[in-house]
């Protein structure tokens, strides 16, 4: 699972939205979830989110990796690296 912590006012988050849609189409075995930090601040705090966008990769409810910022290449590499792990969530 990939959790996208973003905000409606965040420019880099808007930039990443079509990128994430493309990754969701490419990595169909991985679940992508988008969370607005303004709507769910407790969840963002629980994951220690300090900047947006933050992408947290989970396996069985535990974090296996994360990317902070609109780093599409880094995110895709980490999803590729962990795809078997992430898909097993």
How far is residue 68's CA from residue 54's CA, in Å, rounded to a whole number?
A: 4
CA 41 – CA 75 distance, rounded (Å): 23
Q: Which residues are catalytic?
A: 10, 13
Query: To which H or E segment does residue 4 belong?
Result: strand 2-6
């Amino acid at each position: 699972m990939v959790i996208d912590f973003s905000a409606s006012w965040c420019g880099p988050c808007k930039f990443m939205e079509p990128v994430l849609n493309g990754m969701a189409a490419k990595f169909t075995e991985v679940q992508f979830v988008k969370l607005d930090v303004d709507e769910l601040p407790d969840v963002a705090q629980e994951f220690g989110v300090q900047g947006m966008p933050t992408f947290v990769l989970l396996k069985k409810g535990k974090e296996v990796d994360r990317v902070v910022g609109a780093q599409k290449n880094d995110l895709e590499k980490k999803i590729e690296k962990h795809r078997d792990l992430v898909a097993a969530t």
